[in-house]
Amino acid sequence: MVPQAMESLDRTLAALADPTRRAILARLSLGEATVNELAEPFAISQPAVSRHIRVLSEAGLIVQRVQGTQRPCRLANGALTELDQYLELLRKALTQNYRRLDQILAQQAERKDRKT
Amino acid sequence: MSELMLTTEGDTFVVVKRRFEAPPEAVYRAHLEPELIQQWCLGPEGWTMPVCINEGKPGGKLRYEWSNREMGAGFFLTGEILELDPPHRIVHVERMHFPDPTPDNHVVTTFAADGSGTLMTMRMSLPNTETRKAMLATGMARGMETSYQRLERVSGWKAAS
């Protein structure tokens, strides 16, 4: 990997290491939001959210545009898409479902063994 | 071996493959009998299925109701069984209600003997953007866990670019 790509990867990983920033990304996967809107559900100050936004922006994960006095944020193309999130949600739900099903099937087999 | 495989076919279908250490008869039955479905088809921790109707015959109705007491949330699914070929194949249609119904999702589930176990393949429509957003809003209300798992994929994308 060339040093430049390595540096970019480091920035991405650092940006994703923080739970608030991951939550901001998850919120943005549902659509564009202003800094105020992003600050609302997280119970943290607007300056703190602005710092997180700067880190995400420098990592290339989100982009901001200017709209009057506001600077709404959205996910950068190719970053966390809503489709990725949906598929991950599905994977997680099914993984848990089928682990439970494994247990049910194992119990059924045990009961059958005992009978025979 | 029992790892879940989830792939997309274009932007139209999702295909899920999973192996179970039980014969096709048992896995097939667990997809049709309400008292079994209620024990496993629950998604993330915290959800229960207080109502499960599965008439288990072609033309039969489906109604699954999920509830999360901690969140005070719930949603339900309705559907119809279209074809049954025991113990190999179930074809059904389903829709989620949030509470507005999502477009019909046509699902084909097959159960193939694989040694002493079963290879299950489920092929379903990929929900449209609106449906995905509704599902995300329901599934993620408890937290934003899904994004935690993005680390690997995003770093992979970054490294490749």
* Residues in chain B within 8 Å Cβ distance of A94: 4, 6, 16, 18
Dist CA A32 CA A51 (whole Å) = 18
Strand-pair category, B73-85 with B5-9: unpaired
- Top mean-pLDDT range of A26-30, A34-38, A46-50, B81-85: B81-85
Bridge partners (DSSP) listed for residue B95: B78
**pLDDT attached to residue B139:** 56
- Average pLDDT over every residue of B125-133: 81
Q: Show which of residues 52-111 on chain A sit within 8 Å of chain B, judged by CB atoms.
A: 60-61, 78-80, 82-98, 100-102, 104-106, 108-109
Show me where the domains of chain A are located. Answer: 1-79, 81-116
Dist CA A10 CA A17 (whole Å) = 10
Interchain proximity B155–A88, CB inside 8 Å: no
The yes or no reply on domain A1-79 and CATH 3.40.50.80 is: no
Among residues A99, A82, A80, which one has the least CA distance to residue B4?
A: A99
* Residues in chain A within 8 Å Cβ distance of B153: 84
Amino acid at B126: L
Sign of CA dihedral A95, A99, A100, A102: positive
| pTM > 0.90 | no
A3-22 pLDDT, tens digit per residue, is 555 566 667 777 777 878 88
Dist CA B6 CA B132 (whole Å) = 16
H or E stretch at B118: strand B117-125
A46-105 pLDDT, tens digit per residue, is 888 899 999 988 888 899 998 888 889 998 876 666 677 678 778 888 999 999 999 999
**Test mutation, A38, A101, A102, A107, chain B, max B CBs within 10 A:** A101
**pLDDT attached to residue B148:** 33
**pLDDT attached to residue A82:** 64
**pLDDT attached to residue B107:** 96
Structural domains of chain B, ranges and CATH numbers in brackets? 5-160 (3.30.530.20)
Q: How far is B14 from chain A (nearest CA, A)?
A: 9
**ipTM associated with this complex:** 0.83
